[in-house]
């Protein structure tokens, strides 16, 4: 798959995650994951599983808040184990959860990275390899009518899209 295609698909997944963030608690492993995601989708409610008590406590937190969850652990062995434990605990408490975002991200990113904390740097690399604007997520987020081709970064001249100017 070409970098342009991967970048466009990654944007779709990140847009889906961003829209879910309004009424879902995003279950991540730690602070570096949160910082990486905030650079891509802005602020969101999360529970840091490793830092705040493990899968059982995460499931209780989701259940107590009457919310839904997005399981977004790394796609390495430890992340797979945590994702499984989270789904078991959330199911036991009859809490709704999504694992599709994680699967889609893993499918797109697995050959380059293995964790959520590296997601923003991979995204930035893809944008640079496609001669895209370094502010691409902000640019397209500010004006959904801007297309991939319109959000092009020209070295020493900046982005051609008006919203970035």
Q: For residue 93, give the nearest of 61, 125, 53, 47 by alpha carbon.
A: 61
Give per-residue pLDDT as tens, 155-164: 444 555 555 5
pLDDT at residue 104 is higher than 70: yes
pLDDT at residue 138 is higher than 80: no
Q: For residue 26, give the nearest of 8, 10, 12, 14 by alpha carbon.
A: 14
Give per-residue pLDDT as tens, 49-97: 999 999 999 999 999 998 899 999 999 999 999 999 999 999 999 999 9
Q: What is the pLDDT of residue 148?
A: 45
Task: Identify the band that residue 130 occupies on the pLDDT scale cut at 50, 70 and 90.
Answer: confident
Q: What is the pLDDT of residue 3?
A: 86
Neighbours of 157 (CB within 10 A): 7
Q: What is the pLDDT of residue 1?
A: 79
Q: How far apart are CA 35 and CA 156, in angstroms?
A: 28
pLDDT: which is higher, 152 or 18: 18
Give per-residue pLDDT as tens, 10-35: 999 999 999 999 999 999 999 999 99
Q: pTM of whole model > 0.85? A: no
Q: What is the pLDDT of residue 124?
A: 87
Q: What is the pLDDT of residue 67?
A: 83
Give per-residue pLDDT as tens, 30-48: 999 999 999 999 899 999 9
- 43 and 7 in contact (C-beta within 8 Å)? no
pLDDT: which is higher, 86 or 132: 86
Phi, psi of 158 (to 5 degrees): 90, -170
């Amino acid at each position: 798959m070409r970098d342009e295609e991967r970048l466009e698909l990654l944007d779709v997944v990140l847009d889906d995650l961003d829209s879910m963030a309004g009424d879902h608690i995003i279950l991540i492993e730690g602070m570096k994951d949160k910082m990486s995601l905030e650079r891509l989708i802005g602020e969101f409610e999360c529970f840091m599983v490793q830092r705040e008590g493990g899968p059982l406590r995460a499931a209780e937190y989701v259940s107590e808040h009457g919310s839904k969850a997005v399981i977004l652990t790394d796609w390495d062995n430890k992340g797979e184990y945590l994702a499984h434990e989270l789904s078991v605990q959330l199911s036991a408490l009859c809490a709704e959860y999504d694992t599709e975002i994680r699967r889609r991200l893993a499918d797109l990113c697995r050959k380059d990275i293995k964790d959520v904390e590296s997601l923003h740097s991979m995204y930035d690399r893809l944008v640079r390899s496609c001669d895209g604007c370094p502010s691409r997520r902000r640019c397209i987020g500010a004006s959904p009518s801007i297309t991939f081709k319109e959000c092009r970064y020209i070295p020493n001249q900046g982005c051609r899209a008006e919203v970035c100017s």
